[in-house]
Amino acid sequence: MTDLIRISEIFGPTIQGEGALIGQPTVFVRTGGCDYRCAWCDSLHAVDADYRETWAPMAPARVMAEVARLSGDRPIMVTLSGGNPAIQPLGPLIAAGHARGYRFALETQGSIARDWFSDLDMLVLSPKPPSSGMVVDWAGFEACRDAARGARSVLKIVVFDEADYLWARQVAERYPDLPLYLQPGNHTPPPPDDDGAVVDQGGLDARMRWLVDRVVGDGWFSATVLPQLHVTLWGNQRGV
Ligand code: SF4
């Protein structure tokens, strides 16, 4: 029997709002469950066990059918997000989608390596900085990087403050071969049951300007600094 995937939500097409694929049309497949609990998580509805009953166990064929319905059966980039999607058995879904011309990018903190990472088109490794309250297991992180041999791998780091920034610089020095995307963190994430919660856009813009100043001032020219475009456009709204 095929392993079922715990699905929190499937939505789109919309555009990817952050990182290396910013602006690209995509369908999001958000899985339920995470081995982390970051202080500022903006996806608690896909993390908090209180919402477990909203996560539907779905066969890969059913997930693929929903993605195809949303995209009008036209191949598109599929973004696998969470929670931590690496927890889920996504290999068969990726194989089924590739057979129909779909592409797959997966976003993970890099705590759990899976052999099917090598089948991805892009692996976005997003290790969590000190402000998250999490501690990165670098051996696990490197296992993820190594498992994604066939994929294009990139780093994405959320920055809230100076300590996060200095940490990001150390990570970049440690993994010079991984293109790095920085983004200001959202200090007004939505509670899991309120995606209408107001975003402090002025505060986000100020953090973005500070981050640009830090990167440029340090002559850190290999970094790319981007806002969370979807937050700017739609605030904390879900499904966009
Ligand atoms: S790793 Fe991501 S999904 Fe998991 S708790 Fe942290 S921010 Fe939320």
Cβ of 127 closer than 6 Å to ligand 1, yes or no, is: no
3-state secondary structure (DSSP) of residue 15: strand
- Does the pTM of the predicted model rise above 0.75? yes
Cβ(43) – ligand 1 distance below 6 Å = yes
Give distance in angstroms: CA of 46 to centre of ligand 1. 9
Query: Phi and psi of 80, rounded to 5°?
Result: -95, 115
- Does ligand 1 have an atom closer than 6 angstroms to the CB of 17? no
What's the rounded Cα separation, in Å, for the pair 228 and 215? 17
CB of 41 within 6 A of ligand 1: the answer is yes
Residue 85: per-residue pLDDT: 98
Burial zone of 97 (CB within 10 Å; 0-12 exposed, 13-18 middle, 19+ buried):
buried
The predicted pLDDT at position 1 comes to 57
> Which atom of ligand 1 lies closest to the CA of 40?
7
User: Along the 240 residues of the chain, how does pLDDT read in single tens digits?
Assistant: 579 999 999 999 999 999 999 999 999 999 999 999 999 999 999 999 999 999 999 999 999 999 999 999 999 999 999 999 999 999 999 999 999 999 999 999 999 999 999 999 999 999 999 999 999 999 999 999 999 988 899 999 999 999 999 999 999 999 999 999 999 999 998 888 877 778 999 999 999 999 999 999 999 999 999 999 898 888 888 888
Structure token pair of residue 80: 């696998």
DSSP string, 44-104: GGGT-GGGGGGSEEE-HHHHHHHHHHHHTT---EEEEESS-GGGS--HHHHHHHHHTT-EE
Bridge partners, residue 3, by sequence: none
Q: Whose CA is nearest to atom 2 of ligand 1?
A: 83
- Measured distance CA(88)–CA(90) in Å, rounded: 6
What pLDDT is recorded for position 143? 98
Please report the pLDDT score of residue 151 as a whole number: 86
- In the numeric block, which tokens belong to residue 53? 């009953």
CA of 219 from ligand 1 middle (Å) equals: 30
